[in-house]
């Protein structure tokens, strides 16, 4: 017997970014692994955009946003995203450093989450125009 709300579905938006190796391939693989996750249904994916990096000097990024519906709790979704990052060979978890794949939770329904491991909505949305564009393409309309 699960919790009363254990099958509650939440509409979430996931930011994807890659700036190491075959960026397009890394994003496609991450989307496939996400789609294959129990409790995750892929709804829509934005166009992919090339963007200048934030943080230390490094190659340009390819970025996109996916809309998913999930029954996973926020930290379980984060665990799954981090496992996919690891599986795709993300090496050092260095803030704003180059990476094969970065998977961020942009929105988790309309929830506000402040946890040592998880801040939602993602605090950089307002500063990243490309994220706002891609969110709209993935169906987010605030
Ligand atoms: P930015 O947040 O500016 O996009 P980043 O994605 O490069 O930075 P990471 O190195 O990928 O940052 O992650 C650092 C930590 O951020 C992770 O270990 C994770 O626990 C935490 N974190 C906090 N909020 C979120 C979120 N909304 N989505 C993903 N990770 C988050
Ligand atoms: Mg990020
Ligand atoms: Mg990240």
Does some domain include residue 81? yes
Does some domain include residue 99? yes
Does some domain include residue 3? no
102 within ligand 1 shell (Cβ under 6 A): yes
Does some domain include residue 2? no
Does some domain include residue 37? yes
Beta bridge partners of 2: none
Separation of alpha carbons 102 and 85, rounded Å: 7
Count of CB atoms within 10 A of residue 40's CB? 20
Over the stretch 108-121, which tens digit does the pLDDT of each residue have?
999 999 999 999 99
Q: Strand, coil or helix: what is 78?
A: helix
* E strand residue ranges, the chain: 10-18, 40-45, 49-51, 61-70, 102-108, 113-115, 118-120
Over the stretch 27-76, which tens digit does the pLDDT of each residue have?
999 999 999 999 999 999 999 999 998 888 889 999 999 999 999 999 99
- Give the pLDDT band (50/70/90) at residue 97: confident
Does some domain include residue 5? no
Q: Which of 90, 116, 91, 92 is nearest to 101 (CA)?
A: 90
Over the stretch 117-136, which tens digit does the pLDDT of each residue have?
999 999 999 999 999 999 99
Q: How many domains does the chain have?
A: 1
pLDDT score for 4 = 57
115 within ligand 1 shell (Cβ under 6 A): no
What's the domain range around 22?
10-137
CATH value at residue 42: 3.30.70.560
Q: Report percent pLDDT > 70 for the chain.
A: 94
**Strand pairing of 118-120 and 113-115?**
antiparallel
Does some domain include residue 110? yes
Does some domain include residue 123? yes
* Cα 1 to averaged position of ligand 1 atoms, centre (Å): 33
């Amino acid at each position: 017997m699960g919790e009363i709300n254990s099958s509650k579905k939440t509409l979430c938006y996931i930011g994807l970014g890659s700036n190491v190796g075959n960026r397009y391939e890394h994003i496609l693989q991450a989307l496939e692994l996400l789609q294959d996750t129990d409790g995750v249904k892929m709804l829509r994916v934005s166009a992919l955009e090339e963007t200048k990096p934030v943080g230390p000097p490094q190659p340009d990024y390819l970025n996109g946003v996916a809309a998913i519906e999930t029954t996973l709790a926020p930290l379980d979704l984060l665990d799954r995203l981090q496992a996919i990052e690891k599986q795709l060979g993300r090496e050092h978890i260095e803030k704003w450093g180059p990476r094969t794949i970065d998977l961020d939770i942009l929105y988790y329904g309309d929830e506000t989450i402040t946890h040592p491991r998880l801040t939602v909505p993602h605090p950089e949305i307002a500063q990243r125009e490309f994220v706002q564009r891609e969110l709209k393409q993935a169906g987010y309309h605030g």
